[in-house]
Structure 1
Amino acid sequence: MLQCGDMEMVVDGNIGARVVSVKLNGTEILGSKELHPNSYGSTLWLGPQGKWSGHKVLDASAYDLESYYNRNLRLKSMNDSLNGFTISKQFSLIPSDSSIAIEYKITNILEETQEVSPWEVTRVPTGGLAFFPKGFPNDTPSGHKGLPYLKIKDSLGIIWYPYDSSTDSREKLFMDGSEGWLAYARNGTLFIKKFPIIDPSEAAPGEKNVEIYANKEKTYLELENQGRYQILSPGNSLYYEVVWYARQLPPDLKLNPGNKALVDFVREVVGKRL
């Protein structure tokens, strides 16, 4: 466990170095194993979806501890001989702005060139409001394998997804997000993921840099962000750095789609870290 002030994070090194808990003032932010036996917490996948054969070694096997000191934790996976990669994850709690900095490293262990993108998948409980800046004025959502789109609202150049329990199927949304953040507000707490901006041409085939997924039972959402699709020569690595923030929301700040004050709050938070 890493702890800094009123925020704490738990990483399970025995299950893919997965982040299984993030709490702010004792309030859990991430989706727990009680919501789904396999899809819980936050992890890193390989993009694009469907190109790689499962993620059991990288997502569910034990990672080796490389270092643990002063609010910093670094772990490394075993070699995934099926897909030809290893993954290292470094987690750091930053006291100056109460954030969590995460650095992912993906290394090609094959003796041939491979293409891959980093893909962070974070599960949260349903019942909140997800939102992010859209990439282009005329950008429209795309889906995957025939799944219906989430019922979103487009206001202020922001895509909003207020939780909708009326459907009985899985739902998904792919879009190009700008500004490099994706936020989720629930029960008076705001969770923000900040990540590198990429041009749409740099995304993996069939993918975009922001995705939101709701499972059929409507017990969790996946807040997902993808990095640049890159060519890795044998032995070469890519790095993907993200920053998480958790904040208490002012009690008078309404969680309504189109609320500019909510967007301004997020922009103030992410703008504080240089």
Structure 2
Amino acid sequence: MTMKQTVLGVLALALTGCATQALPEAAEPSSHTLEAKGVAATITSSFGGRVTGFGLVGKDDLIKFDAALAASQPAPALDTDLSAAAYYGHSFWVGPQSEWWIHQDLLPEMRGEMWPPDPYLTLQAMKADSGAGSLTLSGKASPYTGLAMTQRYDMLPSGCLRVSAEAVNTRDEAVAWDIWFNTRIESDSWVAVPVAGEDSIRLDMVDLTVFEAPDIQVADGMALADPSLEKGVAGRQGKAFMDPSEGWLAAIRDGQVFVIMFDLLPADAIHPEQGQVELYFTQKAEDPATSMIEMETHAAYKTLAPGEAMQAEQYWAALPYEGAMEAGAVSDFVRDRMQGGNFCLAGD
């Protein structure tokens, strides 16, 4: 899907409502585009607020988003039966996953469940306020987590996208969560994460009865995930939890490198059940439409007093790439650009 196709994809703003009530007819289709230096991002305020496209103008999108599903289901109810709908794109969750449904009493049958995610994060229509090169999306507080989330997207003069979020505790008691960035990309993308060694990676959620584990090789201080599926392999599935050695990860596809930069945190700032970087793979040889890779980062796990807020941010860059699909080549390419620090802030 090209950037142009994403911009033209039918996206609709949804009207919020309770989980058991029918919603009014959807508003006019809406999508927001930010562009600078030949890089474009498209964002919808529907579905909890999502980035639906990002990349070099004229190239294939680096973000996987199901515009057909968005067009057919533009105004979903805030219902747990719908909250895992595969719209894809980039969205925000909160961690740890094991506590998604523990701190609430509205749905006692969900207590202790690890799936699906909170519909207030994945389905609600956000209030949109746009400015010069920026977009702010504000949501209602979730009765399940106690958090009200605000997202902000800034297209910087450097052509990078700053993706930031603030979560406020709206309860009259303390809550503890982290801000979780989840970016879905096409399953044939290569992914690179700087790590100290193989001990910095642990694999989970691997069902070897059907699929093979993700193919992640470590060399030159870099973990490189190879998306290739050998003949006869049904697919790959699993999740990698990583302690990165530097504050970035990258995906490579269609002559582009998609670099996501973040603040590197000490391991003890991250909830022990999570990793600061996580990669989830579902790569099916016969079903590319439902295949994807999730590039995820967790911010610090924090306890918030009533009314207290926490913030987190990423910086996204899309760069042309003609190098080899090797750990050393990818590492050199990104690190050369980061010698002066976060290159996204040049001219900001």
Q: Report whether the alignment pairs 1:87 with 2:149.
A: yes
How many Å separate the matches in 2 of 1:84 and 1:248?
Answer: 42
Deviations 1:154-204 (A, max 9, x none): 100111101143354521111101211010001101101001111111111
Bigger fraction of residues in helix: 2
Deviation at 1:241, TM superposition (A): 1.2
Match of 2:45 in 1: 13
How many Å separate the matches in 1 of 2:280 and 2:202?
Answer: 12
Match of 2:120 in 1: 57
**For residue 233 of structure 1, what is the amino acid of its counterpart?**
A
Q: Which has the higher contact order (CA 8 A, sep 6+)?
A: 1
3-state secondary structure, aligned to 1:174:
strand
Taking every aligned residue pair, what percent have the same amino acid on both sides?
23
Matches within 5 A, 1:6-155: 6-27=38-59, 28-33=61-66, 38-53=86-101, 54-65=117-128, 67-95=129-157, 97-134=158-195, 136-137=196-197, 139-145=199-205, 149-155=213-219
Select the residue among 284, 296, 302 that pairs with 1:224: 296
Deviation at 1:128, TM superposition (A): 2.2
User: What is the count of residue pairs matched by the alignment?
Assistant: 267
Bigger fraction of residues in strand: 1
**For residue 107 of structure 1, what is the amino acid of its counterpart?**
V
Deviations 1:195-224 (A, max 9, x none): 111111111131110111112536211011
Match of 1:2 in 2: 34
CA contact (8 A) 1:129 1:185 kept: yes
**For residue 118 of structure 2, what is the amino acid of its counterpart?**
H
CA contact (8 A) 1:35 1:220 kept: no
Match of 2:224 in 1: 160
Deviation at 1:143, TM superposition (A): 3.1
Match of 1:170 in 2: 237
- Structure 2 unaligned spans of 5+: 1-32, 70-84, 102-116
Change (3 A) 1:137 1:143: closer
How many Å separate the matches in 2 of 1:74 and 1:109?
Answer: 19
- Structure 1 unaligned spans of 5+: none
TM-score normalized with structure 1 length: 0.91
> Over alpha carbons, which structure has the higher Rg?
2
How many Å separate the matches in 2 of 1:265 and 1:84?
Answer: 42
Cα RMSD for the two superposed structures: 2.0
How many Å separate the matches in 2 of 1:31 and 1:164?
Answer: 18
Q: Report whether the alignment pairs 1:237 with 2:304.
A: no
